[in-house]
């Protein structure tokens, strides 16, 4: 099975990544694309108040699970649009090199492109 492609929309919070992702789903016509939004993953978490250490641990697990779900979907042949804020990276570095080590490991086998800037 051919692995899926991953499009990363990188930008600061509230810069329009989710809006662009939704628009891309309407205009991309060379496959079936899924929008995997980190906000949707965060919205699934219980709403009880967490102390700082609990919140940090929960966010770390959320990021790990999010990256693993992207890898699993792409491994099954699905094309994806990802709108998570990734750490800023130097121009020319691959998109997956700009994310946390867990994300880099999970996405290493896939073709990843980043917009705007980068490859």
Tell me whether strands 33-36 and 79-82 are parallel, antiparallel or unpaired. parallel
| Under-70 pLDDT residues of the chain | 85-119
Per-chain mean pLDDT for the chain: 77
The answer to whether the beta carbons of residues 8 and 95 sit under 8 Å apart is yes
Convert the pLDDT of each residue in 23-46 to its tens digit: 999 998 888 999 998 888 888 888
User: What is the per-residue DSSP string for 76-103?
Assistant: TT-EEEE-PPPPP--TTS-GGGGS-HHH
Nearest to 82 by CA among 45, 60, 113: 113
Does an H or E element contain 114, and which? strand 112-115
What global pTM score does this model have? 0.70
Instruction: Give the whole-angstrom CA distance, residue 45 versus residue 79.
Output: 25
Set out the domains of the chain in order of their start, with CATH numbers. 6-115 (3.40.50.300)
């Amino acid at each position: 099975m051919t692995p899926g492609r991953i499009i990363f929309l990188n930008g600061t919070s509230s810069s329009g990544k989710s809006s662009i992702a939704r628009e891309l789903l309407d205009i991309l016509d060379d496959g079936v694309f899924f929008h995997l939004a980190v906000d949707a993953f965060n919205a699934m978490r219980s709403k009880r108040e967490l102390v700082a250490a609990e919140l940090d641990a929960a966010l770390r697990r959320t990021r790990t699970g999010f990256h693993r779900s992207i890898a699993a979907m792409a491994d099954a042949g699905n094309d994806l649009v990802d709108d998570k804020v990734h750490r800023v990276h130097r121009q020319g570095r691959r998109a997956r090199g700009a994310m946390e080590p867990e994300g880099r490991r999970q996405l290493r086998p896939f073709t990843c492109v980043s917009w705007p800037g980068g490859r």
